[in-house]
């Protein structure tokens, strides 16, 4: 009798656990996690067995081996004797370069075209609409190839287009002056950094001052003066320690300066215009989400249209704009991997070269996935922080 009662109690307890929603959810999650772990373990073991049968080794020790290939536009010191790890770092920096430049360009283009599409000027509105509809409906890969073909069709080096005799454009890219650092040039960079910090601090102080007293302060002009004026002042006081190397035309090429390859320019233009078209629609929808009464009230108080858009409409529209804008930033970063089709040596292109030489496909793919995942998570974390920072606080 006692054993039967104990069995009934155990069944009752089990039934209660299974019927409880919270307990049932925990059990299902545990089962799913165990199933995923078991599946990953099975795939890993199966892969290791197959690699062993093929006589292939695993591990990341190959990253110390010399690369034996060149990179046409490294941002750090690199040569063919550098290691695979150094080559991947160069590829990562190139990916970050085109991603950051693309995000900046697409943001400026997207916000500008999004506002202009709502313009009452019929011509401007239709031109922006045509740009958005055309660009959004053409694959980005075709746009990259289009810009690359257009740039490589420029005049050859002997017939380069001169821009003030200090910059030159040809089918090999854009040759611009390069900086020549001398002792004391670091102080100019420090002055620039201090100018930026001071500009940000003044902007925050002016905003708080306006909230408390209603008095405005020309923080934008003051900040611009600090960012530009302070480095120039240090530059002049120290006797101009920073010079510029002007490109010089030779028989077959140019000597000196910095050459921006057509592959980088084409990739940047394509990613900027393509992503900018999507951002334009996001900005337009965000502006339209703000009640029309907000702008009418601002006009009734005598505010100008540009000030109304900057101070009244856009701050409220940002709460709608930021979440989808984050997705576009992530898409742009991942779309930068298409650079391989025009020969721009980014992370994917250089990783492919290393894969072909070393045969470590699993390790290279794992590095790709880890880096792009880290970039996406970092971008999302920053944009989420910014979204919370600008969120409207209801009273």
Q: Where does the chain have alpha helices with state H?
A: 2-19, 21-54, 84-116, 122-136, 140-152, 185-213, 219-237, 262-288, 292-300, 305-308, 314-335, 347-358, 361-390
When the candidates are 1.10.357.10, 3.40.640.10, 3.40.50.1370, 1.10.3720.10, the CATH number that belongs to 84-136+263-390 is 1.10.3720.10
**Average pLDDT of every residue of the chain:** 87
Q: What is residue 63's DSSP assignment?
A: G
Residue 18's pLDDT is what? 65
Please report, for the chain, the start and end positions of each structural domain, with discontinuous segments joined by +: 2-54, 84-136+263-390, 181-238
Query: Distance between CA 310 and CA 326 in Å, rounded?
Result: 21
Q: What is residue 160's DSSP assignment?
A: P
Query: Distance between CA 70 and CA 51 in Å, rounded?
Result: 30
pTM of the model: 0.83
Strand 254-255 to 178-181 pairing? unpaired
Q: Which residue has the higher pLDDT, 29 or 53?
A: 29
Residue 255: strand pairing partners: 248
pLDDT in tens, 211-247: 788 787 888 888 888 888 888 888 888 877 777 888 8
pLDDT in tens, 76-133: 889 989 999 999 999 999 999 999 999 999 999 999 999 999 888 899 999 999 999 9
Length of the chain as a residue count: 395
Residue 254's pLDDT is what? 85
Provide, rounded to the nearest whole percent, the portion of the chain with pLDDT above 90: 41
């Amino acid at each position: 009798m006692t054993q039967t009662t104990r069995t009934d109690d155990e069944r009752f307890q089990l039934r209660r656990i299974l019927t409880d929603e919270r307990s049932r959810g925990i059990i299902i999650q545990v089962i799913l996690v165990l199933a995923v772990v078991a599946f990953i373990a099975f795939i890993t073991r199966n892969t290791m067995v197959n690699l062993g049968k093929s006589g292939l080794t695993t591990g990341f020790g190959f990253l110390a081996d010399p690369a034996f290939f060149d990179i046409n536009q490294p941002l750090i010191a690199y040569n063919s004797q550098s290691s695979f790890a150094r080559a991947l770092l160069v590829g990562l920096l190139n990916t970050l370069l085109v991603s950051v430049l693309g995000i900046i360009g697409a943001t400026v283009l997207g916000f500008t075209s999004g506002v202009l599409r709502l313009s009452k000027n019929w011509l401007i509105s239709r031109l922006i609409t045509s740009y958005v509809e055309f660009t959004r409906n053409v694959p980005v890969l075709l746009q990259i190839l289009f810009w690359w073909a257009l740039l490589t069709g420029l005049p050859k080096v002997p017939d380069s287009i001169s821009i003030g005799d200090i910059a030159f454009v040809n089918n090999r890219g854009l040759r611009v002056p390069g900086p020549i650092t001398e002792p004391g040039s670091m102080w100019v960079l420090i002055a620039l950094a201090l100018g930026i910090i001071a500009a940000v601090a003044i902007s925050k102080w002016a905003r708080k001052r306006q909230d408390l007293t209603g008095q405005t302060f020309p923080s934008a002009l003051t900040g611009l003066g600090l960012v530009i004026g302070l480095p120039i002042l240090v530059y002049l006081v120290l006797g101009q320690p920073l010079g510029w190397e002007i490109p010089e035309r030779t028989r077959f090429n140019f000597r000196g300066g910095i050459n921006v390859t057509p592959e980088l320019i084409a990739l940047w233009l394509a990613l900027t215009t393509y992503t900018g078209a999507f951002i334009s629609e996001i900005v337009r929808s965000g502006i339209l989400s703000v009640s029309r009464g907000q702008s009418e009230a601002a006009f009734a108080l005598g505010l100008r249209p540009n000030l109304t858009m900057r101070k009244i409409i856009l701050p409220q529209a940002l709460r709608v704009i930021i979440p989808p804008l984050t997705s576009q930033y992530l898409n742009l970063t991942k779309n930068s991997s298409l650079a391989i089709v025009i020969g721009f040596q980014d992370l994917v292109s250089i990783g492919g070269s290393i894969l072909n030489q070393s045969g470590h496909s699993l390790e290279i793919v794992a590095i790709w996935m880890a880096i792009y995942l880290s970039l996406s998570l970092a971008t999302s974390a920053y944009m989420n922080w910014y979204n919370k920072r600008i969120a409207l606080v209801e009273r």
